[in-house]
Amino acid sequence: MNLSVPLGFLAGAAVLFFGVFRGIENSGVFLSPHAGIIVIGGTAAAALICFPLKYFFNMIKVMFAAILGTRHATKVRTINEIVSLSVSINSGKQLLNLVPKVQNHFLKESLQLMETGGLSDDELFEVLEKRVEFQNETYQRDSSTFRIIGKFPPAFGLIGTSVGMIALLQGLAAPDAFQKIGPSMSLALVATFYGLVFSNFILIPIGENLNQACEDDLIVRRIVIDGIRLIKHSKHPLLVGEHLKSYLQPAQRNKMRKVA
């Protein structure tokens, strides 16, 4: 699990609580159901217009996947797994018996495809490259979706503020209008506050998180393809490990298992 996401939400909540709510005498002004309905409901409506209903529900799953960090693949773990496979095969073990124990889904899928036979080397790697390309496009689409939706809340926040200002101006003819100007304007601006928080605290960060996860996943899949190529050509485990280390930073290379 990627702890940075929940820690980021906790830090953001703390900033809002101590920097905003505790800094205003009447913090109850932020509890405006009308502003919430306009911003959240309007954003959901705009998202439904932009994207199909089925895809809209899938975005909710993607959001929780980003929060839990389940999309972040580990490069070191994948390389160690490939090197271990290479060591086992080099020692005479059958690949067919090793595949069920493989943890990385794409690595297992690639090994199964290689084991079935019937494909030349060029055909095998053409299929794997196509699957990498498709998965990367899917992840990029999920990332861009959240960034697109992130543009809506501030706009609906301004709509809510405009509605509040219209209501305020309508009441200026009342005898006690002067005393109500301050409270009414503060309520009107709550919608803008909601829109900015919802966009910059939830949607845009999740979109950027998914973009980073997409880049990490692409690197891991490139590692898998290179590992499959080296294993298929019966390269020594030491060469396999050293070749795949090129995808790691120097500090990460220390976490690699040593090949005996």
Amino acid at 51: F
Q: What percent of the chain has pLDDT over 70?
A: 88
Residue-wise pLDDT tens digits, 56-67: 777 777 777 766
Give 131 or 4, the one with higher predicted confidence. 131
Angle at 218 (CA atoms; ends 216, 221), nearest 5 degrees: 110
The per-residue pLDDT for 259 is 62
Decide if 81 contacts 256 (C-beta within 8 A).
no
In a domain, residue 126? The reply is yes
In a domain, residue 123? The reply is yes
Question: Exposure of 106 by Cβ count < 10 A (0-12 exposed, 13-18 middle, 19+ buried)?
Answer: buried
- Within the chain, residue ranges assigned H as helices are 4-16, 33-36, 42-50, 53-68, 75-90, 95-98, 105-116, 121-149, 152-170, 177-197, 204-232, 237-244, 250-253
In a domain, residue 71? The reply is yes
In this prediction, residues 240-244 reach a mean pLDDT of 90
Coil, strand, or helix at residue 216? helix
The per-residue pLDDT for 189 is 86
pLDDT at 258 over 70: no
Q: Please give, one letter per residue, the 3-state secondary structure of 67-136.
A: HHCCCCCCHHHHHHHHHHHHHHHHCCCCHHHHHHHCCCHHHHHHHHHHHHCCCCHHHHHHHHHHHHHHHH
Question: Which pLDDT band, with edges at 50, 70 and 90, does 146 fall under?
Answer: confident
pLDDT at 4 over 60: yes
In a domain, residue 257? The reply is no
Give the chain's largest Cα–Cα span.
93
In a domain, residue 231? The reply is yes
Residue-wise pLDDT tens digits, 184-197: 777 778 889 999 99
Structure token pair of residue 170:
């309508």
Decide if 5 contacts 162 (C-beta within 8 A).
no
Taking the C-alpha atoms of residue 8 and residue 24, their distance in angstroms, rounded to an integer, is 23
In a domain, residue 259? The reply is no
The per-residue pLDDT for 224 is 94
- 181-186 contacts, C-beta under 8 A, 24 or more apart: 183/29, 186/29
The per-residue pLDDT for 72 is 57
CA distances from 199 to 1, 148, 154 (A): 24, 10, 7
Q: 118: left (phi > 0), else alpha (psi -120 to 50), else beta?
A: left
In a domain, residue 226? The reply is yes
Residue 201 is classified by DSSP as I
The per-residue pLDDT for 151 is 92
The residue segments making up the domain with residue 204 are: 4-252
The per-residue pLDDT for 178 is 65
Give 175 or 209, the one with higher predicted confidence. 209
In this prediction, residues 53-80 reach a mean pLDDT of 74
* Structural domains of the chain, count: 1
Question: Which pLDDT band, with edges at 50, 70 and 90, does 260 fall under?
Answer: low
In this prediction, residues 160-183 reach a mean pLDDT of 75
In a domain, residue 258? The reply is no
Residue-wise pLDDT tens digits, 13-42: 888 877 777 767 777 777 888 888 999 999
Coil, strand, or helix at residue 257? coil
